[in-house]
Amino acid sequence: MNVFRDLYISANAERMATAVAEMERILPSGWIRDKPAEDRLQAFPVPAKRIAYCFVCKNEKPRPAAILFLAQKDSNTFYVSNILPVERHQLEHAEYNSVLENFYETVFKPVAEKVELAHTVTGAEAELDRWMDEETAELLRAFSSGANKGTGASHPNDRKRWNAFVLSAHRKDCELDPSTLERWLVEAEDWSPEIAEHLALEYESGRVLLAYALVH
């Protein structure tokens, strides 16, 4: 399934500031650093202030015009937290990834090699093991392959398999979010968009309920 790529960088705040200054110095044509946007982000009254850097690219096909946010995840990690379009409402997966890939190759990578920044770039394709353990993935596959795709999880046997998946996802603290589940059901398993959306909402509410029960 096509997914948004991620870039994770192992660096503390001081090392990242040095790297970003070098990135700004060697920015290729079509890219700028947006310091006013960074100042606006820092002005937000959030409980835990995180450092964020902003880079903007012009529209140069296949890369659309966009603003890329390079943010602090924790004390020793920065990552591309989001990429937003400048000229329209949202980016398709391929467009989002084209911006990240261009930033990585032309802006970040030359600096990372120079200052020896350890980093990870995830792929544009992903299987279920990106978000969950194999046992939970098998429970989801078992539900999808055995269920009536016209009725979702309404049949008692389908409901039993569905509940086993949701419970396992909760117990294993799986990272699968409802929108990704919905896309997987439609794109990988040929569920209708309407039933997939309903199941994604059930998944979300089920995990919220289980999390609530855990602390009460």
Q: How does pLDDT run across 126-153, given as a tens digit for each residue?
A: 889 989 999 999 999 999 999 999 999 9
Across residues 73-85, what is the average pLDDT?
A: 95
User: Residue 88: its pLDDT value, please?
Assistant: 80
Across residues 113-125, what is the average pLDDT?
A: 93
End-to-end CA distance of the chain, in Å?
37
Q: How far apart (Å, rounded) are the C-alpha atoms in residues 52 and 1?
A: 29
Reported confidence tier of residue 21, pLDDT bands at 50, 70, 90 = very high
pLDDT digits (tens, 9 = 90+) for 192-208: 999 999 999 999 999 99
- Average pLDDT value over all residues in the chain: 93
pLDDT digits (tens, 9 = 90+) for 51-60: 899 999 999 8
- State which amino acid sits at residue 63: R
The residue to which tokens 């946010």 are assigned = 69
Q: How far apart (Å, rounded) are the C-alpha atoms in residues 178 and 127?
A: 15
CA atoms within 13 A on the CB side of 149: 12
pTM: 0.75
User: Residue 87: its pLDDT value, please?
Assistant: 84
- Interstrand relation of 52-57 and 31-33 (parallel, antiparallel or unpaired): antiparallel
Domain-wise residue ranges, the chain: 7-121, 128-214
Q: 150 with 157: CB under 8 angstroms? A: no
Across residues 13-34, what is the average pLDDT?
A: 96
User: Residue 191: its pLDDT value, please?
Assistant: 96
- Reference 139, options 178, 168, 174; nearest CA is 168
Across residues 39-61, what is the average pLDDT?
A: 81
User: Residue 125: its pLDDT value, please?
Assistant: 86
Phi, psi of 58 (to 5 degrees): -80, 165
The residue to which tokens 């096509």 are assigned = 2
- Reference 206, options 159, 146, 141; nearest CA is 159
